Structure 1
Amino acid sequence: MHTVKNWFSHSLAGQALVVFVLGMGFSAVFRRNDHPGLWVVQSLLYSVVIIGVLAAQRRRTARATGADPRTVVSLNRRIRHGEVPRDPEERAMMRRLVDDQLGKMERGGRWLPYWLGFMGLSAVGMLVLGATTGSLVFPLVFTVAVAAFCLWILWMRRRAMEIHHHMRSALRDPS
C-alpha cells in the first residue's frame, strides 16, 4: 500500500488516472442517457484540465523553493510528519516551502468567510425550497453535509496552520 500511495503522490500520471476513472464514474452516474464515448471524452477533458492546473502549481512551488517537484513532495511529507532535516541546504528548501505554503494559506484565509457564507446560504436556500415543496429529506441531508464539510474545512485549515507554524519555528532553531 505504501508504494501505491507514493506512486500517486509523486506521479502526475497516477493522479491523471484517478481523475479519469472518477470522471468516468461521475459521468456514468449523472449522464446515463448519453453515449459512453461522450463519458470518455468528458473525463479526458476533465483530466487534462485538472492535471494541467496541478502541474502548473507544482512548477510554481518548485521555483519558489528551489527544488524539483519530487523533492517538494518529499518535503511536504516530512512537514506533515514533523521531521526537521539536518542538512542545511534541505532545511533552507523546507523553510522556503513552509513560508510559501503559509503565505498561500494566509492569503486564502481572506476569502474563507465569503466561501463559507456562500455555502451556508446555499444550504439555507435548499431548506427553504424543501419547505415550500414539502420535501425536507434531501434539503436536510444537504444542509447537514454542507455544515459537516464547512467544519471539516475549518478544522483542516487550523491543523495545517498549526503544523506549518510549528515547522517554521523548528526550522529557525539551529539544533
Structure 2
Amino acid sequence: MESPESGKGTASGDRDWRDRWWVFGLLALVVWVGVRLLLSGLHAWPSALVGGVIYVGWLTWWMRRRRKRDARAVGTDADNVPGMDRRILKGGDVPDDPAEREAMARLVDRRQERLVRNRRWAFPLLAVIFFGTSGLWFAAGSATSGGVMLAAAVVFMSWMVWQHRRTLRRLEDMRRRLAEQPPVRA
C-alpha cells in the first residue's frame, strides 16, 4: 500500500481523505466553534455555530476556487492539486507520466512565484502588526504585555522566515529532481 505522501493514485479516483473539501470544512468548523466556546463560554454556542458555518462556508468556497484556478493554470484536475502539493512539499516521488511531470513542474513554478511575490508585502505587514502591537503596549505603560507581545512577535516572525525558506528549499529540490530524472516512456 502506498503512503499518503507518495501521491500515488492522484490520476485515478483514489483520493486521499485529507484532500476532500468537506474534511477541510469540518475541521475548520470544529476549530472555529471550539475556540469561540473557549473564549466566550458554553452559553455562546448558538452564535459560535452560526458564525462558524458562515466562516467555514466562505473558507471552503475560497479553498475550492483556489484549487480550480491552480488546476486550470497547471493543466490538471482540481482534485489532483492537493496530492501534487503534498508530493512537492513532502519530497514525494517524481511522476513517471510526462503530462503529470509537466503539470507538477508548472505547479512548482506557480508556488515559487507566489511565495516570492507575496513575501514582498506579507513579511513587512506582519512585522508592522506584531511589532507595532508590542510598541503600543509599551506606549500604553504595560511593560508586561508589551514584553510578551514582543517575544511572541520575534518567535512568530522567526518561524515564518524559517517556514518560508524551508518551503522554497523544497520547491527547488522538486524542480531539480524533475529536471534530473527523464520521464519514462511507455
Q: Name the structure 2 match of 1:172.
A: 179
Partner of 1:110: helix, strand, or coil? helix
Tell me whether 1:139 sits opposite 2:146 in the alignment. Answer: yes
Distance 1:170 1:108 in 2: 25
Quote the residue 2:110 is aligned against: 100
- Partner SS, residue 107 of structure 2: helix
Q: Which has the higher helix share?
A: 1
The alignment yields a C-alpha RMSD, in angstroms, of 2.1
Between the two proteins, what is the percent identity of the paired residues? 26
Q: 2:54 aligns with which of 42, 45, 51?
A: 45
Show structure 1 runs of 4+ deviating over 4 A. none
> 2:71 corresponds to which residue?
62
Measured after TM superposition, the shift of residue 171 of structure 1 is: 1.8
Q: Which residue of 2 aligns with 1:123?
A: 134
1:12: Cα distance to partner?
A: 1.0
Q: Does the 8 Å CA contact 1:59/1:69 hold for their aligned counterparts?
A: yes
**Is 2:41 the counterpart of 1:32?**
yes
Amino acid across the alignment from 2:148:
V
Tell me, in whole angstroms, the C-alpha distance in 2 between the residues paired with 1:58 and 1:127. Answer: 43
Q: CA deviation at 1:128?
A: 3.0
8 Å CA contact 2:37–2:44 kept in 1: the answer is no
- Which is bigger in relative contact order (C-alpha 8 A, separation at least 6)? 2
Structure-2 separation of matches of 1:137 and 1:18: 34
1:151 aligns with 2:158: yes
Deviation at 1:92, TM superposition (A): 0.5
Normalised to the residue count of structure 1, the TM-score between the two structures is: 0.84
- Deviation of 1:159 after TM superposition, in Å, equals 0.8
Shift of 1:78: 1.4
Deviation at 1:147, TM superposition (A): 1.3
How many residues align structurally?
167
Q: Distance between the aligned counterparts of 2:43 and 2:55, measured in 1?
A: 17
Q: Could you state the TM-score of these two structures normalised by the residue count of structure 2?
A: 0.80
Q: Distance in 2 between matches of 1:139 and 1:104?
A: 33
Post-superposition offset of 1:70: 2.6
